């Protein structure tokens, strides 16, 4: 990340902020999509993160951590949207037909389905470690958790993923 550009953005340079955000918007979208699982909500999160980060950029204490700061903001937004969506009960008009249907084959688990099995904290750690290539120390800083907790959550999540892959293979 260009530290000079971040400092310019913190001083109110809109063009500098726009350049920074455009470099990260694809990462922001992908991170959001993993949580919300649909294009529209992920795009809403990108928009929300753009607004919040623009409004709060002066609160960023260390310009070197701009990307970390914005990804953390994305994760928080995505978790909030996920929680809000869990309160919505979808109505299916033709539910009687769905009850009688049986799948004639067992689908393999996709990576997306595997990640959905994880709890929010586990999902965040896995994404930051393997998708964004952060170290465990950086993950503990981003999520504001102790280093030991970050390691524990990472290994617990990896073990859950392994177990579910093994179970899917046995079916």
**Closest by CA position to 24, among listed 72, 59, 96, 83:** 72
Which of 54, 45, 64, 50 has its CA nearest to residue 7? Answer: 64
Residue 93: the pLDDT is: 47
Burial of 145 (0-12, 13-18, 19+ CB in 10 A): middle
Q: Please list the alpha-helical segments (H only) found in 57-146.
A: 66-86, 95-100, 111-117, 120-126, 136-143
Calculate the alpha carbon distances from 26 to 13, 40, 43, 74 in Å: 22, 14, 10, 12
pLDDT at residue 128 in the model: 87
Check: pTM over 0.85? Answer yes or no: no
1's CB contacts (< 8 A; 6+ apart) are 20, 23, 63, 64, 66, 67
Q: Is residue 93 part of a domain?
A: no
Find the CATH number of the domain harbouring 137.
1.10.10.10
Buried b (16+ CB within 10 A) or exposed e, 87-103: eeeeeeeeeeeeeeeee
Contact at 8 Å (CB) between 157 and 118? yes
Task: For residues 97 and 107, give the distance between their C-alpha atoms in angstroms, rounded to a whole number.
Answer: 21
Does 113 reside within a domain?
yes
Question: Could you tell me if residue 91 is inside a domain?
Answer: no
149 falls within a domain: yes
Mean pLDDT, consecutive 10-residue segments, the chain of 171 residues? 87 92 93 90 94 92 91 92 71 45 46 78 88 87 90 91 76 53
Domain that holds residue 34: 3-86
* Together in a domain, 82 and 7: yes
pLDDT (0 to 100) of residue 84: 82
- Do the domain assignments include residue 156? yes
pLDDT the model gives residue 88: 56
Co-location of 113 and 165 in the same domain: yes
């Amino acid at each position: 990340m260009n530290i000079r550009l971040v400092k310019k953005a913190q001083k109110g340079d809109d063009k500098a902020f726009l350049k920074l955000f455009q470099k990260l918007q694809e990462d922001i979208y992908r991170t959001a999509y993993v949580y919300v699982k649909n294009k529209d909500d992920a795009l809403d999160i990108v928009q929300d993160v753009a607004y919040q980060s623009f409004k709060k950029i002066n609160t960023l204490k260390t310009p070197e951590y701009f990307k970390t700061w914005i990804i953390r903001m994305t994760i928080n937004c995505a978790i909030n949207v996920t929680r809000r969506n869990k309160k919505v009960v979808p109505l299916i008009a033709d539910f009687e037909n769905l009850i009688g249907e049986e799948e004639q084959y067992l689908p393999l688990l996709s990576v997306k389905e595997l990640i959905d099995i994880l709890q929010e904290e586990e999902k965040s750690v896995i994404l930051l470690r393997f998708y964004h290539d952060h170290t465990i120390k950086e993950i503990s800083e981003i999520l504001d958790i102790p280093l030991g907790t970050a390691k524990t959550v990472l290994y617990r999540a990896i073990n859950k993923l392994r177990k579910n892959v093994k179970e899917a293979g046995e079916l």
